[in-house]
A and B are shown apart, each in its own frame.
Chain A
Amino acid sequence: MRTQLHLLLLAAVAAAVDLWPTHQRIAPSFVNTDVVRTVELSSQAYVKASYSIESQSDVDNDVFYLTLSEEEENVTGWIEAKAKGATGGLEVKRLGQHAESLAYLYAIKLAKPLPKGESLTLLVDSVQSHATYPKPAFATQHDSHFRVYEADGIVLSPYETTSQRLRVKAPTPNVRSYHIPSALEALAKDEPAVKSGATVTFGPFKSQPPTATKDFDHKPYRVSIDFEMNIPALTVVSLKRTAEVSHWGANLNIQDEYVVRNDAPELKGQFSRLDFQMSQHARRMSPVIIPALSLQLPSGAHSVYYFDIVGNVSTSAFRPAPKAAGRAARLGPQNAQLDLKPRYPLMGGWNYTFTVGWDAPLGDSGRWDEVNGRWILAVPFLTPLPATPIDQADVRIILPEGATDITVHPPFDVALMERSTHITYLDTIGRPAFDFHAQKLTEKHDGFIYITYKVPTAAHLQKPLAVTVASLIIFSVMWTLKRVDMTIKK
């Protein structure tokens, strides 16, 4: 009876004070005086938005809410924010879908509450993957590569927007067309859309009330731009990284299993090897073809291996990091470069699956904490490929046998973390392994996963002990056999 009363009271309190921002109306504590969104198109879309805001109240003025439409949310893989003129980033927290307006809400925590009447400019950078699509969807191996980018012409915001502009910068000045709907043209202050070189500017637009509401439909205000692409559009469909730590060998082995796909228009007709060889020779290869990849490996990497399902692939070149001396050493370690050439050139829509791995000294990634008697290991989440989205990544870190008191610190919130036991050579009880699963990653997600662990000395000696016991067993078998009479007696 008493617990029921308590639960009833709790429910009443929760209903009365709706605490979660996705289930309450956003307070109009700011006004966007000027919003400029600049989209730089490459094989990913880099959106740099500048929100000039003015505070309207002295309460609820420490968090700025950013809303994304469903189309934007599906493609956005990375958001970071900072205040103009200030150093250091601001915390951006993903809150989820707003119950009323169905827009996706992000909370940007300001460095300090903004008093009424004061202004601030927030710079919000985001990376959109798979935000463009090829048009036409099919092309031969000689054709050019054209893509279409669509965006919301009017920014979705829970605050009133006095003035806003959208600038889209294509990778080449060859912009075939751009489209602005008539509903949006009516909102423009003077010229609705202007093309200058490779940049198309939509706007500036007149003052808008808050658009992240239930009644506002953003779809009639979507703009699009049809442009020529001269950069290879590679996607990593899945990446499976395994990092294995060895204390006896002082080594960190990292192995990456990639499934990559060329996102250029799908190949129409047959692949002609003859035409391909001729175009390579004449150096006039269409940008829809990807003949090679380049990976930047850490400076201490050695013993690199590259194989796929058929076997070892010999068309690769590994250039170890040069020995740095003097000023170069102070600038930081140089990257080693691995140039990979798949067995076949990747035409539009083609996939390739391969495995790359290397060894590096553990001294480059592991640190010894004397105070707490533990080691700290830093493993990069992925090797960034320029402007390449990674749809699915699994990182597995395998610690030495007998590791205890393990703490893990991933660089960003991952979808799933698993702990398992991995058994490999000379193992008895198995090694602790941690799996991190994440989706929709970009090259900005290359932060380090920090893992701290302790290994008692007895655990270090487990391996030699296992071999010792095995050889003792062999000796005792030999001892027994020496005393068994196996001669054939009459």
Chain B
Amino acid sequence: MESYSQIQELYARLPPFAPIIPTSLLPYIALFLCSAAFLLGFYFTTLPRTLFSIREVFVALVASVLAGFGVVALFNYFGVYV
């Protein structure tokens, strides 16, 4: 483990933190992903009532993944920095 002055000197010359997804894009990502998830969820409710349908599973999965990223972006947009 480095000493305090070593860490201090290292900190002074390293590049700053940069997120993978730029924060300025987060509101648009939130809007796009959440509305896509909502529309897919709506489509899920219109699907016929067969006992087992691969289409239902597929739609649910895609909507959930979109909702996952959309909700995280939504939280950050509203100032709850998760």
* Chain A positions near chain B (C-beta within 8 angstroms): 244, 246-251, 253, 303, 359, 361-369, 375-376, 378, 407, 409, 411, 424-426, 448, 450, 452, 460, 463-469, 471-472, 475-476, 478-479, 482-483
Contact = CB atoms under 8 A, between A and B. Distances in A.
A467 B64 CA distance: 8
B19 A247 contact: yes
Nearest to B47: A482
Given A250-B23, A369-B10, A479-B56, A471 B72 contact: no
B55 interface: no
B54 interface: no
A453 to B, nearest CB: 12
Interface in B61-75: 61, 63-65, 67-69, 71-73, 75
Nearest to B26: A249
Contact of A475 (B4, B44, B75, B81): B44
B63 A251 contact: no
A378 B11 CA distance: 8
Interface residues of B, number: 42
Contacts, number: 122
A464 to B, nearest CB: 4
A452 B68 contact: no
Given A246-B76, A249-B76, A376-B14, A409 B4 contact: yes
B10 A467 contact: no
Given A367-B11, A367-B15, A251 B69 contact: no
A475 B49 contact: no
A467 B17 contact: no
A478 B14 contact: no
Interface in B1-59: 1-4, 7-8, 10-11, 14-21, 23, 26, 37, 41, 44-45, 49, 51, 56
Contacts of A463: 68, 72, 82
Contacts of B71: 426, 464, 467
Contacts of A364: 16
A121 to B, nearest CB: 25
B18 A368 contact: yes
The winner among A249, A361, A452, A463 for most chain B CB atoms within 10 A is A249
B54 to A, nearest CB: 13
The winner among B10, B21, B68, B76 for most chain A CB atoms within 10 A is B68
11 contacts: A248-B72, A248-B73, A249-B23, A303-B79, A368-B15, A409-B2, A426-B72, A426-B75, A467-B68, A468-B68, A475-B60
A359 B82 CA distance: 13
A451 to B, nearest CB: 9
Interface of B: 1-4, 7-8, 10-11, 14-21, 23, 26, 37, 41, 44-45, 49, 51, 56, 60-61, 63-65, 67-69, 71-73, 75-76, 79-82
A314 to B, nearest CB: 19
B16 A363 contact: yes
Nearest to B5: A409
Contacts of A452: 7
Chain B interface, DSSP helix/strand/loop, else mixed: helix
B7 A409 contact: yes
Contacts of B8: 448, 450
Contacts of A375: 17
Given A363-B17, A367-B16, A471-B63, A253 B81 contact: yes
Given A250-B17, A363-B17, A425 B7 contact: no
Contacts of A426: 71-72, 75, 82
A79 to B, nearest CB: 17
Nearest to A244: B81
A376 to B, nearest CB: 5
A246 B72 contact: no
B16 A468 contact: no
Contacts of B67: 467-468, 471
A450 B4 contact: yes
The winner among A365, A369, A452, A467 for most chain B CB atoms within 10 A is A467
A238 B44 CA distance: 55
A246 B14 CA distance: 19
Contacts of B26: 249
| 10 tightest Cβ-Cβ pairs between the two chains A and B | A366-B17, A468-B68, A249-B81, A464-B68, A246-B81, A367-B14, A249-B76, A363-B16, A475-B60, A251-B81
B72 A464 contact: yes
Contacts of A425: 75, 80, 82
The winner among B4, B18, B81 for most chain A CB atoms within 10 A is B81
